[in-house]
Amino acid sequence: MEAVVIDAGSKLLKAGTAVPDQAPPMIIPTQMKRMLEEGSAADSPVVEDFTVDPVVRGCIKDWDAMEDLLQYVLYTGLEWEEGNEGQVLFTDPLFTPKQAVKEQLVQLMFETFNVSGFYASEQAVLSLYAVGRISGCTVDIGHGKIDIAPVLEGAVQQISSKRFEIGGLDLTKLLAQELAKSNPTVNLNISDVEKIKEKYSCCAEDEFAYRKTQETNEIEQHTLPDGQVISIGKERYTIGEALFQPVILGLEAHGIVEQLVRCISTVSSDNHRQLLENTVLCGGITAMPGFEDRFQKEAGLCSSAIRPSLVKPPEYMPDKLTEFSAWVGGAILAKVVFPQNQHVTKGEYDETGPSVVHRKCF
């Protein structure tokens, strides 16, 4: 049985058997709905449903919900049979608390899901594998966080890595505020704004071009699911610009390219070129029209003598690789670690317990 690769993000979970040059067969929302019942009787009427987020800003927070989600993914989505479970490779977000998360995850997989083998590897390393690199730097704009991680010879430079506790959700809320100003009579929910962001957001060529978009009268009409019509104009440029001018988000911080350069500056200068010239963008937001061009233009203006340069994915890789590059890298790695017995086996887990994950998955 082929190993399964699971990349559980704050917004989407990507899962499937390890086929390195294909998109993950399962891409589903991580957020779950629960039914709240009145009383404890089996026939109690349902009062309301509520949402649960198993993963918050990249880290598993609700283990009961995560177990339910994985139960659905493995046995329903990927059609595992009880008693014949296979091997699993998990992608590991930057700065995962080793004791709190890694040990609990390996325990869940062996004791609840009875897997025959387990491995975990950091998302930044895997995203580089997906574009054929073992050294470089990843700029990962997720739903709940932005991670910048230098990687040398397959090892994340933790001291030089940086996390920002903002992400796609915060940008969606920003867009909601902007749309509310120009459409005061329209009632917007965050789900509608998320879809508008995905459909209409684009990035201005530079700061001057962005200022010109704020004066434009080019308006598109968008019909919401409930029939309301909303006007979208200059707001479409807000998301992209906020990543290069965080002051738009109310943050006193440098833009994303300058943040990248500052992270790299703390690594030995001998490695600056290797890291900056192998920069990989990750996350669906980075696929918005104009984002890569703006990133490269800002790179030409940054404070570093060596300019960041983006790595293009190989032609044989699936479209929209930035949206699931860690999963693809995980599929590549799974073809190595499991056949070569570099993973945690059931016997090793039974003998040593959850702490074995630190010896085998580092």
H or E element at residue 152? strand 146-152
Residue 285 DSSP one-character state: G
> Within the chain, which residue ranges are assigned CATH 3.30.420.40?
4-128+319-360, 130-166+254-299
Q: What is the pLDDT of residue 362?
A: 72
* CATH class entry, domain 168-244: alpha beta
Residue 95 DSSP one-character state: T
Task: Give average pLDDT by consecutive 10-residue segment, the chain, 362 residues.
Answer: 93 96 96 70 61 91 95 97 96 83 95 97 97 97 95 96 93 96 93 95 96 89 94 95 95 94 94 97 95 96 91 92 96 96 96 93 80
58 dihedral zone (left: phi>0; alpha: psi -120 to 50; beta): left
Closest CA to 338 of 361, 354, 316: 361
Cite the DSSP H helix spans in the chain: 63-71, 103-107, 123-130, 168-182, 190-200, 207-213, 238-244, 256-264, 272-276, 291-299, 325-337, 346-352, 356-360
Q: What is the pLDDT of residue 228?
A: 94
b or e along 85-106 (b: 16 or more beta carbons within 10 Å of the residue's beta carbon)?
Answer: bbbbbbbbbbbbeeeebbbbbb
Residue 101 C-alpha from the chain's centroid: 17
CA distance 313 to 132: 8
CA distance 90 to 7: 6
> Within the chain, which residue ranges are assigned CATH 3.90.640.10?
168-244
Longest Cα–Cα distance of the chain, Å, equals 69
CA distance 315 to 66: 35
Distances (CA, A) of 230 to 18, 185, 199, 214: 42, 9, 14, 18
Q: What is the pLDDT of residue 47?
A: 58
Which CATH superfamily does the domain covering 4-128+319-360 fall into? ATPase, nucleotide binding domain (3.30.420.40)
Which CATH number is associated with domain 130-166+254-299?
3.30.420.40
